[in-house]
Amino acid sequence: MTNKVKVEHTYKSVWDNLNKIDLSSQTDKKMNLTYLSWAWAWGVLMENYPEATYDFYQADDGTPFCKYPNGTAEVRCRVQIGELQREMSLAVMDNRNNSIAEPSSTDVNNAKMRCLVKCLAMFGLGHYIYAGEDLPQDTKAEPKPKAEPKAKEEPKAKEEPKTEPEEHDEGWANTIVEGLKITLALPNTLEQLNGVFKGNKAYIDVLEKKHPAKYTEMLELFKTKKEEIKNV
């Protein structure tokens, strides 16, 4: 009988593997920042490291975030791949990236999934997406020669940000549903469950249009979780 050889991951081997994966086609641009869908990020991680796990900070009283004296809060996430682990924190923010005082369960849930994606970036997955976002706007640069004044251009129509990935094949649908299965383990109240639904509405709408079987499967997951919460 041949014994299976256990693969020992190192931070370098994981980084070299994940950092070379191009996820640029799965990103959205909002308020000058680039976002990567958590469902895509987690799906890619599972394809490469199916043993990976994650968990979020929870206070002794059960509060799922760290609260500051001024009422604002941050969430904290830890991702583990084998014996390796990374941690990340993220402020609970509104759609203008301002900290929220007394955040709702929806705000906290959205921050958690953004924090998860950032934590994955610490392993190399989509790391390049966040490069430079923490730099001040007035960083010094080499002086440039003055350009000739140009004629005033008509303002361009503002482009609407993408809310869905451009490709929605069967693999995409499977990734979304599998990601939702993981996320649905988190809500403990109907309000939190509703927050998960609203936070993933764009993806759910695509499932309904292009993958009705997966859409039905996804609805059953939400119904089952709803009954589970009601019966607690």
Q: What is the pLDDT of residue 141?
A: 46
Of residues 67 and 164, more confidently modeled:
67
Which domains are seen in the chain, by residue range? 7-132 (3.30.390), 169-232 (no CATH)
222 CB burial (10 A radius; 0-12, 13-18, 19+): middle
Of residues 70 and 190, more confidently modeled:
70
Say what the alpha-carbon torsion angle 23, 195, 115, 19 is, to the nearest 10 degrees. -10
Q: What's the rounded Cα separation, in Å, for the pair 60 and 49?
A: 31
**DSSP codes of every residue in 98-111:** PBPSS--HHHHHHH
Q: What is the pLDDT of residue 106?
A: 93
Burial 26-47 (b: 16+ CB within 10 A, else e): beeeeeeebbbbbbbbbbbbee
For the stretch 7-24, pLDDT in tens is: 788 999 999 999 998 877
Q: What is the pLDDT of residue 190?
A: 81
3: confidence class by pLDDT, cuts 50, 70, 90: low
Q: 34-38, 81-85, 128-132: which range is least confident on average?
A: 128-132
Mean pLDDT of 60-69: 89
For the stretch 138-181, pLDDT in tens is: 444 445 555 566 666 666 655 555 444 446 788 777 877 877 77
Q: What is the pLDDT of residue 231?
A: 85
Mean pLDDT of 205-217: 87
Q: What type of residue is 71?
A: G
Q: What angle do CA 18, 23, 27 make, to 5 degrees?
A: 140
Contacts of 72 (CB under 8 A, 6+ apart): 91, 92, 99, 100, 101, 103
Tokens at residue 185, please? 């383990």
Pure H helices in 29-153: 38-48, 105-121
Of residues 90 and 33, more confidently modeled:
90
Residue 79 near residue 111 (C-beta atoms within 8 A): no
Q: What angle do CA 129, 102, 76 make, to 5 degrees?
A: 40
Q: What is the pLDDT of residue 48?
A: 94
